[in-house]
Structure 1
């Protein structure tokens, strides 16, 4: 939609009618006919007639004929007029073919030159020039014909437009301008427009080709073309989207060109022409600049085009939240049926007493006595599930169907209990479903926020990285390198599905570091269907050193599960999940919670979202109650900021500056309630700081001795693995003699500096 709006001014301009287009074609034809290169060759008029589209051919032909008559000497003009007439005739007879018209025009040009040479009116230099004229006309016309036959794929500048611009610049130099250089004016204005749009490659192509055209038209203007190219390229690279910045850098390039001018008069003319070019650039309306074909907004060029993906993720998150809210609201408004013991009484009255002759006496005259009997029967049904004849209360001594009353009451209570159990299970499933929807919505919203963070792409680094993969035989399908809001380098390359060994990844990383000029970690490789995505991240400031020791209470089964890993977002994670109890059931719960939470964290989920999904998984795992504590520490390796999340976990030991402390929090394990009751906190870590997670089996004598021992281990230079082993062994000795032994796990993380 935005692109269509930007193109709207040009569409309105194109809608002014075919008359304006024909007039422009005629003016262009006259200008190209006047164009001169290499000291007297005029091939562009013939080239235009050879390659122009049929819709503009005759208007261009009229302009070319007029240009030859007006701008060329009479003798030369007649020679080119004859060739132009033959070309028009060839295009009229063979409108979709190039070579008949080209052969006729070039042949006519050479035939006239041959007659002049035979008659002695022209010498060998003129004959050689005629051959060059014919060759240039045929080559330029072939380029126009081919470029006009198909739309240029990719990029804002078409090959046809570039050829016409270069020929037009040569023609502008033949116009009288009182010492100014019209070609320089147009080249400067066009180059600045492209520079403002941030199109570095297109600006380079336009300016360098234009500089070559000016040098071919007048060798003395070689300095002018190069000066314009230098100024426009500097503006496109350093200040895209800034008019004043582009003009300032262009002026600096122009001053360098003045120093290279061969004559002072040319230098003055160049300065005046450059100033007019800048004035024309400033005079262009902003809407017209934004409507340049194929161009994008410079601000949008500074970030990846992920707005659609972000919007879609936000829409999905909103939809999931809406589903969860709707299900809960509908459940609250539905009527509750069969939720009390009175339903059993109504069932007996309907099934048994409706046809009984004593109905009037039992349910009208002695109603209170009957209801009292049913309520005295309730404890018996709750305890045994059925009632025997001898267990009937005395209030039913007048019942004429005691046996049927016992069986009907038992059957009604069984139905009542089944409906109650079904309602409880349905409520649990509903709560789990809505909680899962809400957790997924929260996670998707977080991902949308991460995806929507602006990234400033680096065009040069992107191109070099793409060439690196192309040089090893992996042509990139997509490639981007740039910096996020925090100034961290991010790069991603998508290629056809390819497996990589560890050595290959190391070699690719070394080459990428040389290109990107930043230290990189080993890339993350993701395979999705037929493509493979390699993601590079700048090496963080810190590096985690892990240690782990476990002492199970029963051989072969440990209820504690630990995960230690770094994700692709520059975070280090230390996760400990303790299944309730010991042995195999606890091991299943702890491993399930730790494995699922680790996978969610690696995918980019937050701690709260991961805990909510783990809570749902444990609740639905089986009919038996399942629960596990969740203790998570996430450290941003770029800043050292640590986030702590606890759900029923033991205190976290933190050592900073050689002093250890225990961080506690009130929370409940996951899997117990419908919603997670956790606690989050954050602390700042520096190089050399320690974080230790322990299961409740290590806290037999509290956390004081753990803090003291941690300080001693850090002071003695012990590694994290040695510290974990020592703390686990000491906790095991302190737990000897306990009536109910418990699993002991110690997970250690020490933050070390990775980049100097």
Structure 2
């Protein structure tokens, strides 16, 4: 055996290392949180920003930064405004006492205007820039007069320019200060907020524009570091924007620094373009910009100084923790970090929503179980109800009888059982047998009086039982419905939890494949690539109805994905400059062609039979026939109402068996009349041709497979007869080219010169030579009417469905460069 590696760690060492890493990570996070608390919540950051802005100047004369910063902080963080004011005054004091006096004066004027007009003007945010404008103009004018004794047009112009700049900076700082003064997480920056933040940070850096260490400008170092940091975090667009804005503000602060504008802008652009090379790539862009601008530019600083300043900025970038750049990128739209952050946030929202939906599902299931338990309790309370019944009878008859003690003490069981038997017979048969009467007369001296009392009390008992039965049925309906809703919500929660995948690579591959064959494509969005559930949206310019979606794009997608893709929906532009949108989805393995024919009794116009053909969302196709009791308008309403309820319940996602039970409960509770409906339901899965048959009081169905005819039958009473019943489901595997034939009772019932109608129907179906569904339906109805001598004795309906493989109109187009994606 070889030597054990010195880097090998046993399980105990690994656990210790993991524990150590966890402790260190927790320590760093705790330290960062404390820093954030001190700098942001306690106001130390506002003090530092104020100190630097108090030193900032434009054209070495104007100081438009101080009051806008204080006004923005005063409006947004009034409780920390004193930190900003102290920082501004101390910063300006490092320049001169005159500047400190000016800063204090304009802040005082601003507070006076604000206090005076606070109760008069309601729109504080809109009026703040005007307060700043007036305060700056009046303060600068007053100091000029105090210093020089008079006022010239030049000084008035300078005061006006400073006031205008302060007005604009107030609007900018009102958008940028909240970003730096709150502890909000995951806040995305709009474009204008990002620019305002850059202006604020660049303005802060002008406060150190005259600081130098070993002949190196600290302002240039931090500006370049600032630019490459944003280029590394957010790319070329943001990097070049930061460079332009920072260079422009530096140029306004000091004309000698105007040459930095081109260097910073170029460095931000090149650094962002070389972002894939990580920090070294971004720094390479900075050095290239420094060399080019240093050699061919107009900068007065020596090239060696520029290279050293860029080197120090590069060193700062290397020392910058990855978490800082990631945090910056997470707040800037368009970056991968921002997209990942948004996806993580959306996933969290989906998980929370799914959890809530699951909780609601559990609530509905618990309520359903509670109602079911109450129904069980009603069954157990039946014996108690009988005791109450007999107690009421004995109170009216036996209480005053002289043989009470003999009957209810000495012969309690015989008396109780005899009276219970009398009650049961009267309740079920409405009469008593001679044997029961004789036995009761031999036992009771007031037999007739007791029987009359039982009959009288039985009327109230039966009414009470009927009411309880209706309550039980109502609860049963609620149980079924709540159970169905609970299942739907549970399925919905599972759908919510399905995280949308990122298909950028596949979208790019597909775009290249379509462009390679000469198609002009604007945009591709892939929502799902799961087999059988493909969902793709493609936008392309005006096509003038050439049919390229069906003839070219769908066949190409079919070859790429390895399954048949069809055009689900197509929206063509109405004018040449418009954009077309097409949705492509997986094709179903099977399709259903249908044919239907019906005839009303005695050739009438309204048939009591109803039929429905519906495509469900879950790649299923449903066919149903309902026969209302009787004929005519009333039977038609009954059958149509049954089918309408069925359609709505199935479309909601509730299972077939629960749907049938719910319809039965609704129809049995809505009226006291004896009104029943049959229902013949077939649900075909279009992916595997598996069929479910649910027959509630309906006729058999038949499947014609070549020369063979298969009978499908189930034993369920019509809807509305029984208050509670179990639904029998028959599962049958259908095959391509099968004919499914569903009929109403009028086809098989009635007078015909045959004895076995099932054999007659099978023979008729097997003799039909055509496989067209509509022709089959027409021929069967015609043969049935002919067999009755042309008489239509009942409503008749024939519904025929043909199962076929779903074959695309166009063959797939081979894609040379890409194949099926995993």
TM over 0.5: yes
**1:289-333, CA deviations, whole angstroms, 9 ceiling, x for partnerless residues?**
9899xx994333445945555444333322222122223334434
Paired with 2:159 and 2:732, the residues of 1 have a C-alpha distance of 82
Alignment of 1:307-346 (within 5 A): 307=351, 309-333=353-377, 335-337=380-382
Alignment of 1:274-313 (within 5 A): 276-277=316-317, 280-284=320-324, 297-303=341-347, 305-307=349-351, 309-313=353-357
> CA separation of 1:254/1:711 partners in 2, compared to 1, >3 Å: closer, same or farther?
farther
Residues 1:694 and 2:716 aligned together: no
Partners of 1:377 and 1:393 within 8 A in 2: no
**1:230-255, CA deviations, whole angstroms, 9 ceiling, x for partnerless residues?**
977x99xxxxxxxxxx8658877776
Paired with 2:101 and 2:675, the residues of 1 have a C-alpha distance of 99
Paired with 2:392 and 2:469, the residues of 1 have a C-alpha distance of 21
Partners of 1:304 and 1:457 within 8 A in 2: no
Partners of 2:596 and 2:797 within 8 A in 1: no
Structure 1 residue 184: deviation in Å? 3.7
Residues 1:90 and 2:109 aligned together: yes
Paired with 1:611 and 1:172, the residues of 2 have a C-alpha distance of 80
Structure 1 residue 551: deviation in Å? 3.6
Paired with 2:98 and 2:363, the residues of 1 have a C-alpha distance of 75
Residues 1:355 and 2:400 aligned together: yes
Residues 1:616 and 2:665 aligned together: yes
Residues 1:591 and 2:640 aligned together: yes
Structure 1, unaligned runs of 5 or more = 1-6, 70-77, 119-123, 196-202, 236-245, 460-480, 492-505, 521-537, 715-719
How many aligned positions are there?
Answer: 652
**1:426-462, CA deviations, whole angstroms, 9 ceiling, x for partnerless residues?**
4333333322332232233333333444346999xxx
**1:404-443, CA deviations, whole angstroms, 9 ceiling, x for partnerless residues?**
3552343355455455545544433333332233223223
Residue 549 of structure 2: aligned partner: none
Paired with 2:733 and 2:311, the residues of 1 have a C-alpha distance of 61
> CA separation of 1:357/1:635 partners in 2, compared to 1, >3 Å: closer, same or farther?
closer
Residue 490 of structure 2: aligned partner: 445
Residue 626 of structure 1: aligned partner: 676
The one of 674, 677, 680 aligned to 2:724: 674
Paired with 1:190 and 1:660, the residues of 2 have a C-alpha distance of 76
The one of 78, 88, 91 aligned to 1:64: 91
Paired with 2:382 and 2:765, the residues of 1 have a C-alpha distance of 57
Residue 535 of structure 2: aligned partner: 488
Alignment of 1:570-581 (within 5 A): 571=619, 573-579=621-627
Paired with 1:488 and 1:748, the residues of 2 have a C-alpha distance of 28
Alignment of 1:40-51 (within 5 A): 43-44=64-65, 48=69
**1:162-194, CA deviations, whole angstroms, 9 ceiling, x for partnerless residues?**
542342355577665859742243344456667
The one of 185, 190, 201 aligned to 1:165: 201
Paired with 1:615 and 1:142, the residues of 2 have a C-alpha distance of 68
Structure 1 residue 595: deviation in Å? 0.4
Paired with 1:8 and 1:79, the residues of 2 have a C-alpha distance of 43
Partners of 2:743 and 2:798 within 8 A in 1: yes
Paired with 1:105 and 1:43, the residues of 2 have a C-alpha distance of 12
Partners of 2:609 and 2:636 within 8 A in 1: yes
Structure 1 residue 745: deviation in Å? 2.9
Residue 428 of structure 1: aligned partner: 473
**1:684-714, CA deviations, whole angstroms, 9 ceiling, x for partnerless residues?**
99xx978856235568657867987999436
**1:381-423, CA deviations, whole angstroms, 9 ceiling, x for partnerless residues?**
4676356999942762696556535523433554554555455
Partners of 2:144 and 2:151 within 8 A in 1: no
The one of 799, 806, 814 aligned to 1:746: 799
> CA separation of 1:417/1:582 partners in 2, compared to 1, >3 Å: closer, same or farther?
closer
Paired with 1:396 and 1:725, the residues of 2 have a C-alpha distance of 69
Structure 1 residue 211: deviation in Å? 3.9
Partners of 1:432 and 1:616 within 8 A in 2: yes
1:519 is paired with a residue of what secondary structure? strand
1:16 is paired with a residue of what secondary structure? helix
> CA separation of 1:422/1:33 partners in 2, compared to 1, >3 Å: closer, same or farther?
closer
Partners of 2:470 and 2:669 within 8 A in 1: no
Paired with 1:439 and 1:513, the residues of 2 have a C-alpha distance of 50
> CA separation of 1:99/1:360 partners in 2, compared to 1, >3 Å: closer, same or farther?
closer
> CA separation of 1:79/1:19 partners in 2, compared to 1, >3 Å: closer, same or farther?
same
Paired with 1:342 and 1:739, the residues of 2 have a C-alpha distance of 56
Residue 226 of structure 2: aligned partner: 186
> CA separation of 1:487/1:108 partners in 2, compared to 1, >3 Å: closer, same or farther?
farther
Residue 550 of structure 1: aligned partner: 598
> CA separation of 1:149/1:696 partners in 2, compared to 1, >3 Å: closer, same or farther?
closer
Paired with 1:147 and 1:397, the residues of 2 have a C-alpha distance of 104
Structure 2, unaligned runs of 5 or more = 1-28, 75-80, 116-130, 251-257, 295-302, 333-337, 505-524, 539-568, 749-756, 811-822
> CA separation of 1:279/1:612 partners in 2, compared to 1, >3 Å: closer, same or farther?
farther
Paired with 2:647 and 2:575, the residues of 1 have a C-alpha distance of 29
The one of 396, 417, 427 aligned to 2:441: 396
Paired with 2:136 and 2:454, the residues of 1 have a C-alpha distance of 107
1:98 is paired with a residue of what secondary structure? helix
Alignment of 1:402-421 (within 5 A): 403-415=448-460, 417-421=462-466
**1:63-105, CA deviations, whole angstroms, 9 ceiling, x for partnerless residues?**
5315646xxxxxxxx9866754653453465466323321035
> CA separation of 1:712/1:676 partners in 2, compared to 1, >3 Å: closer, same or farther?
same
Paired with 1:512 and 1:306, the residues of 2 have a C-alpha distance of 39
Partners of 2:354 and 2:497 within 8 A in 1: yes
Paired with 2:84 and 2:163, the residues of 1 have a C-alpha distance of 20
Partners of 1:215 and 1:221 within 8 A in 2: yes
> CA separation of 1:128/1:424 partners in 2, compared to 1, >3 Å: closer, same or farther?
closer
> CA separation of 1:632/1:223 partners in 2, compared to 1, >3 Å: closer, same or farther?
farther
Paired with 2:157 and 2:286, the residues of 1 have a C-alpha distance of 34
Partners of 1:693 and 1:747 within 8 A in 2: yes
Paired with 1:619 and 1:550, the residues of 2 have a C-alpha distance of 27
Paired with 1:745 and 1:591, the residues of 2 have a C-alpha distance of 16
Paired with 1:207 and 1:683, the residues of 2 have a C-alpha distance of 66
The one of 190, 194, 213 aligned to 2:246: 213
Residue 563 of structure 1: aligned partner: 612
Paired with 2:70 and 2:624, the residues of 1 have a C-alpha distance of 78
Paired with 1:655 and 1:108, the residues of 2 have a C-alpha distance of 104
Residue 519 of structure 1: aligned partner: 582
Residue 647 of structure 1: aligned partner: 694
Paired with 1:247 and 1:9, the residues of 2 have a C-alpha distance of 31
Partners of 1:571 and 1:635 within 8 A in 2: yes
Residues 1:101 and 2:130 aligned together: no
Residue 8 of structure 2: aligned partner: none
Residue 140 of structure 1: aligned partner: 169
